[in-house]
């Protein structure tokens, strides 16, 4: 176990999939976790589920594209706890339409949540982290940020941007003892992937040298490591967690 006792951790996109697994993993390692979700109903549902499983978590649902709204929530959290130690930017949406079927509004929506939201949340917490002389910002990237994908250009474009943001902020914030890294998951057994028929899953597994699809816990553990003191000299890294899958 990695002891994150007293570390106030914010997880965006924390109501399902990889996000809720990150929430659980950080709770199991004694962090004080606050999750962000997109809607009041989804946040309540996640909090109720977590409570049933023995996890005490707070939740908010700010519009991540509205800096003032995000900033106000961050201030509220800081006022309550006195510090914000770890920010995990996990909220995001994917895309798979070919470019001729993609509306400009679709592309903008992806960039807003996958990139602009990270800018807003990071901008809001950096002053607190500078004041307390340290912190950790972690972003969810993707294997497609390395290789691209055959359709849905907005998603890999946004994740390429996440990598650039991660590496640049790492250099900018290092003098303030704020580390910035990203995790790039490969194919992971979220609800969506788990519901796929076996004839679709088998060819996917065949591309992965480790011979299996990743579990949400595999990804959450990577975030845990990067947030912990064991990674105290690691910043500006995009950590691939994909079983050595390569295109």
Q: Which residues are catalytic?
A: 155
Measured at the CA of 146, the angle between CA 115 and CA 169, to 5 degrees, comes to 45
User: Which residues are 32's β-sheet partners?
Assistant: 8
99, 148 contact by CB (below 8 A): no
CA-CA distance, 167 to 181, in Å (whole number)? 7
3-state helix/strand/coil string of the chain: CCCCCCCEEEEECCCCHHHHHHHHHHHHCCCEEEEECCCHHHHHHHHHHHHHCCCCCEEECCCCCCHHHHHHHHHHHHHHHCCCCEEEECCCCCCCCCHHHCCHHHHHHHHHHHHHHHHHHHHHHHHHHHHCCCEEEEEECCCHHHHCCCCCCHHHHHHHHHHHHHHHHHHHHHHHCEEEEEEEECCECCHHHHCCCHHHHHHHHHCCCCCCCECHHHHHHHHHHHHCHHHCCCCCCEEEECCCCCC
For residue 210, is it left (φ>0), alpha (ψ between -120 and 50) or beta?
alpha
């Amino acid at each position: 176990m990695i002891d994150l006792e007293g570390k106030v951790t914010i997880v965006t996109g924390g109501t399902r999939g990889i996000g809720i697994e990150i929430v659980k993993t950080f709770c199991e390692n004694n962090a004080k976790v606050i999750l962000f979700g997109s809607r009041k109903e989804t946040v309540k549902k996640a909090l109720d589920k977590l409570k049933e499983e023995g996890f005490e978590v707070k939740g908010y649902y700010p519009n991540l594209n509205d800096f003032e709204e995000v900033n106000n929530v961050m201030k509220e959290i800081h006022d309550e706890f006195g510090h914000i130690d770890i920010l995990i930017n996990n909220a995001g949406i994917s895309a798979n339409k070919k470019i001729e079927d993609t509306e400009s509004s679709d592309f903008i929506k992806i960039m807003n949540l996958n990139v602009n939201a990270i800018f807003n949340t990071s901008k809001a917490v950096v002053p607190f982290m500078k004041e307390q002389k340290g912190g950790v910002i972690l972003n969810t990237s993707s294997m497609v940020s390395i290789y691209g994908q055959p359709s849905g250009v907005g998603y890999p474009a946004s994740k390429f941007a996440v990598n650039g943001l991660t590496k640049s902020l790492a250099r900018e914030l290092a003098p303030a003892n704020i580390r910035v890294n990203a995790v790039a998951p490969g194919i992971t057994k979220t609800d969506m992937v788990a519901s796929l028929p076996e004839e679709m899953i088998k060819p996917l597994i065949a591309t992965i040298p480790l011979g299996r699809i990743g579990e949400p816990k595999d990804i959450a553990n990577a975030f845990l490591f990067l947030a912990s003191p064991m990674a105290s000299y690691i910043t500006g890294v995009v950590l691939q967690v994909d079983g050595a899958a390569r295109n």
